[in-house]
Structures are given as C-alpha cells and as structure tokens.
Structure 1
Amino acid sequence: MDKSDVTLERLRTFVRVAERGSLSAVAREQTIGQSSVTRHLRELEQALGVVLLARTTRRVTLTEEGSRYYAHAIQILRLVEQANDEARSTSETAAGTIRISCTAALGVRHLSRLIFAFQDQHPAISVDLGLTDERIDLVRDGVDVAIRLGPLSDSSMKLRSLGHSQRILVASPDYVSRHGRPASPEALANLEGIRMSNIAGSDMLSLTGPDGAVQMVPIGGRLRVDHGLAAREAYLASRGIGPAHLWLVDDLLSEGHLERVLPDYALSPIPLSMLIAPERASIARVRLLVEFLAEAVLDIPGVERSGREV
C-alpha cells in the first residue's frame, strides 16, 4: 500500500473519528458498518506508516502524529468542499446538506417553518435539523450552524448576533380569576410560579418598572420543568404564573388562552445568536442559510434586532 491509498473517504472517516472519539458513533453517522470504519482507519494508517489513533475499550484518542495529521486533514477536506462548492456555483444552484442545531422549543414553534421557506428557495439543499437545549460541540457533532438563546462564550466558533428575544409574564385567565391578579411584583411571592430547572437563577425574576427601577423578585412554586414547551403547557393548564418568550406563547395570547401579568414591568431580554463552525462558514449553502436566517428570524414574534456580528 502506498500514499495513493490516502483517499478522501478515509480522510473523512479519520477526521470524524478524531472529532467524535468513537468508531460506533461515526458508523451510525455515516450509515455504514463499524467494520468499514475500522478498515478505513487501518488502511489510512498503513498508507502513512504511522499510528494516528490510540484505541481503548472506551474511547479513541489522537496520537501525537494523529493530532498533527488531523490539523492538515481538516484543511484538505475544507479545500475540497470549497472547490466542489465553487464548481456547483457555476450552475447557480446551491446543493448539499446543512446540519443545523436549534434550541428545542424555538425550533418547534418557529425555526422549522423558516427552514421550510429556505428549502423552497433552494430545492437542492438538504437540511438535517436537530433540536436540543444542550450546548453541543459543533465540530465534534458535525453541525454547521447552531441557533442558541442566552449568553455564549465559545470563542472558537464564529458568532453572529441575531437580536434579542423579548419575555413577558403570563398566566391563564382561569388562574388569574381563581387566585387574583397581582398588582405589584411583590404579590408574585404569594402565587404559584412555573420555573425552569435548566436555567440558573430561575427562582428570581429581574423586573424593570415604569420608572426604570429594577426589582429582584423571588418566585416559587411546586412545578419545575426543563423544556419551554412543557412550560407552555403548564401555563395553559392554569398551573401558575411565570416568564415566557413572546414567541413561545404568541398564539395563546392572541387567542385569549393566556394573558399578560404585570404588563408595566419588563423582563430582561435574552440574546439570540447563531454559532457557525469556522471551517464551514465559507461554503456557499451555509452562507446562504446564515444570511437567510439573519433576516428571517425578525419575523419571529418578540425577536428584535440588536448587537452586531463578532
């Protein structure tokens, strides 16, 4: 076996195993048998004459030689994809697959329909949309673009601010009629609250009053959930009062199933951002999606433009 056996297929398999740390995960991702993944790696190492990966029963890690080779391999694969992309662009048709990750509730309620509209404009582009509230590793999980709510600190990714998501306090008319409408933030302490177990500090609300003064108000309650759609159902079922992104409950508000509580007091808006894997940012189909979403998200209720691209 010689260097001509260093094929793109084997390079791609090596890169994904290096990023995932698991042969079985890559096999599932590429819909091939694990034996094929093992064979690609063995043949690549034989062609190079070096050991690239150290294998244990629990994990696969890069050797020193493997780390150096990985850095060059991802550059090679990026150049190949860019060349393919530029060749396709001569036909004025963007094609290929984009992998997107999005906060789950936002994805279900709004982003999915934006993706549908994007694909209507670009019928040759396939989309793999994953919905999760977990902070994923874009490189490890092979994701091109991630839409996230809240502050982000991953400096290794290309970050684009999409704006801020407005939040309001809501409850059902039935809950308000049975328990009374709070006239001040302090009254919330005596009412049942819906809290998010996966958000730090959800037992305290920061409310800005009409005079600009900020009040920190504790909120209790017997129900804590870790998903926005579960909170939506809890409000609808008259389980209590709590904060909600406007996009999460806009339809329920317009239909009268929910109503605003303490409308003169504002909750802090939450940053909405797009993370882009740096090595994918220059690919035409990814650029098209990024620019499309940067404008389309402004049609989501409660999302307002702010910030700038970093």
Structure 2
Amino acid sequence: MDKSDVTLERMRSFVRVAERGSLSAVARELGLGQSTVTRHLRELEQAVGVPLLTRTTRSVTMTEEGRRYYCVQILRLVELAGDEARSTRGAPAGTVRVSCTAAFGVLHVSRLVFAFQDRYPDVAVDLSLTDERIDLVREGVDIALRLGPLPDSSMKLRLLGQSRRVLVAAPDYLASRGRPARPQDLASHEGVRMSNIAGSDVLVLHGRRGGRHVVPFAGRLRVDHGLAAREALAAGRGIAPAHLWLVDDLLASGQLERVLEDYAPPSVPLNMLIVPERSGIARVRLLVDFLAEGIAQLPGIEKPQPGKR
C-alpha cells in the first residue's frame, strides 16, 4: 500500500459512507458529486488492496476488512488536532452540525446561530430542523436540541432546563365559546391537538394549590408541527397547552390569552445532546456554551436544579 494514496479526503468519504450507508446522502453532506465520492472509495480500496464496502442498489455496507479499517476515531483525532492548531491563531473555524426541534429552531435557535456566527465568522453552522429522534453519528450531527424525555444514550447529555407550558386561546374563540372556569369544562371545548404526541386526547393539569386533574381533550384539528399549532391558536381554532416560548409574543400582543391560570400542564425537559468525540473540538464547545447561555434567557425556560445535568 502506498501511504500517499490514503488521503484524508478519501478516508473521510469512506467513514461517512460507512456511517450513513448512502453514497448520495454523503455526497450532499460533503458538497461533492456522487461520482467523486465513488471515486474516493475506489481509490482508497485500491490503495489498501482490499474491498472495504459492499454496494447494492439499496444500500452500502462494510465488508469484514472494511470494519477493521474503519477509522472514525483516527479521523476525529486528526480533525481535533487541526482544530487545536487553528485555535492557536485565535480564530475557530470549520463546520458545526446542529439538529433542533423544528418550531423551537425557527423561532429562537436560528437567531442564536446568527449571533454566534457574527461573533465567530469563520465557523459554518449546518442547522437541521426536525422533530424526529435521529441517530447523531449516522447523520453526522454534532449537537442536538430536544424537548421531552430521552432514552438512554451514549451521547453527552446537558439538561438546559424545563420548558413551561400554559393553556391559551384567542379572545375571539373565548368570546364565542365561553371561558372555562375549571378543568372539567375543557371537555366541551375545541382542542388543538398534536398528532405526533402520544396521549394528546387526554390533558393532565396540575393545580397551583395542588391536585392533579386528568380531563378528556378533543377537537376537530390535529397538527404535527408547533408552528401550525401556533397559527391555529391565533386564528381562534380552539384551546391548547403551549410552550411559553412558542406563544409569549402572542400573549404580549393580546392575540392570545391565558386560560385556567390556576392550572398548568407539566413542564417538559429541554436537553442538549453532544457527540462525545466532538465535544472537545473548540468550535463545537463554543457553540454548546453559546446556545446554553442564550436558551436560558428565553421565555418559559426554567433553570435546571443544581446537580442535574
């Protein structure tokens, strides 16, 4: 094997294809033509002298030799070394890939990313908005922001806080349908429900003076996106529990009003997931801290209790 033929570029293409199982997806991620990625793989296999990948019409998988040659850790160490070398010049550079819950990303995280790039102009950010629980390593993501409980994971977990929720409705809706006076009254109202959340046909409320209330929650409209729920509420389509960060401006402008203020749905944990091997890279570390600090200032984000992460 001629070591000069085992280039970082070819190794990077191999590792990403091995992780994602798709030539076209890696070509898009790296900003290359699919034929270029294919050539990288062919040239690397020629340099190594063994087939590293098995290609079919539907997928790409590693051969046994490919598994042994799998060099994710080497690549990450090379990138970390290069990052640290750049940091000695005082200017972090490179790309950070972030995945974020969609509505939260549109309304708040995107603006934080803009501010981060104003401070660090040599850092590129690839922001992907999705409510799906993706595989960070497979998708090449460094940081993910997620609402709700998380399963056990090998990722580094940073609890950013609890996202407070409130019951809201538009003034026109309340004028036409009446204002509920107690939790049980919600059963006769139109609810704007989230179709991608299990159990949205039941609403759990905790009283300010104690007590837990479970009431049926129905309605003719179901949506699968927070921004669609926000529009529906502002248009007077019904009552719904909403994250305060989602509707704070609408409450301030009078487009929405609080309902049953002595009762509230449970808060939802907001977490940051970080790929452990990427957490030591300066630009990733800087963005993690920048996002955590900015998110802590958003409406309805309650700081985590000391000792919790």
TM range (shorter): over 0.9
CA distance in 1, matches of 2:95, 2:308: 24
In the alignment, structure 1 residue 285 sits paired with structure 2 residue 283: yes
1:179 to 158, 163, 177: 177
Equivalent position amino acid for 2:72 in 1: I
Alignment match, 1:20? 20
Kindly indicate whether residue 196 of structure 2 is the aligned counterpart of residue 198 of structure 1. Answer: yes
SS in 1 for 2:136: coil
Give, in angstroms, the shift of residue 154 of structure 1.
4.4
Aligned mate of 2:158, from 157, 160, 163:
160
- Which residue type is aligned with residue 289 of structure 1? L
SS state at 1:29 partner: helix
> What aligned pairs does 1:1-310 form with structure 2 within 5 A after superposition?
2-70=2-70, 73-307=71-305, 310=309
Aligned with 1:188: secondary structure? helix
Question: What letter matches 1:117 in structure 2?
Answer: A
SS in 2 for 1:129: strand
Residue correspondences, number = 308
Q: Distance in 1 between matches of 2:87 and 2:297?
A: 29
Amino acid at match of 2:228: A
CA apart distance, 1:90: 1.1
Using the TM superposition, give the Cα deviation of residue 309 of structure 1 relative to its aligned residue in structure 2, in angstroms.
6.1
Cα distance, 1:211 vs structure 2? 2.7
Distance 2:27 2:207 in 1: 55
Give 1:179's aligned amino acid. Answer: R
Q: Which amino acid aligns with 2:24?
A: S
CA deviation profile, 1:247-305 (whole Å, cap 9, x unmatched): 00000000000000000002100000111112111100000011111111011110111
C-alpha spacing 1:123/1:33, structure 2 compared with 1 (3 Å): closer
Measured in 2, the distance between the counterparts of 1:228 and 1:243 equals 11
Q: Which runs of 5+ in 1 are unaligned?
A: none
Aligned partners of 2:208 and 2:3: how far apart in 1?
Answer: 71
Q: Which amino acid aligns with 1:252?
A: L
Moved more, 57-66 or 166-175: 57-66
Deviation per residue, 1:73-120 (Å, 9 max, x gap): 111111111111111111111111111111110011111111112112
Amino acid at match of 1:79: L
Could you tell me whether the CA contact under 8 Å between 1:159 and 1:309 is conserved in 2? no
Q: Using the alignment, how far apart are the partners of 1:43 and 1:12 within structure 2?
A: 13
Matches of 2:220 and 2:110, distance apart in 1: 32
**What is the deviation of 1:4?**
2.7
- What is the rounded CA distance, in whole Å, between the counterparts of 1:278 and 1:14 in structure 2? 21
> Aligned partners of 1:35, 1:295: CA distance in 2, in Å?
42
Bigger mean CA deviation after superposition, 199-208 or 31-40:
31-40
User: Where in structure 2 are there 5+ consecutive unaligned residues?
Assistant: none
Q: Matched residues in 2 for 1:201 and 1:126: separation? A: 39
How high is the TM-score relative to the length of structure 1? 0.96
- Alpha-carbon shift at residue 210 of structure 1 (Å): 2.7
- The 3-state SS of whatever aligns with 1:128 is strand
Q: Equivalent pairs: percent with the same residue?
A: 70
CA RMSD of the aligned region, Å?
1.3
Where 1:139 maps in the other structure, the secondary structure is helix
Paired residue type of 1:174: D
- Stretch moving more, 112-121 or 170-179: 112-121
Q: Take 1:154 and 1:21, find their aligned partners in 2: how far apart are those partners?
A: 24
Cα distance change on mapping 1:51 and 1:169 into 2, 3 Å: same
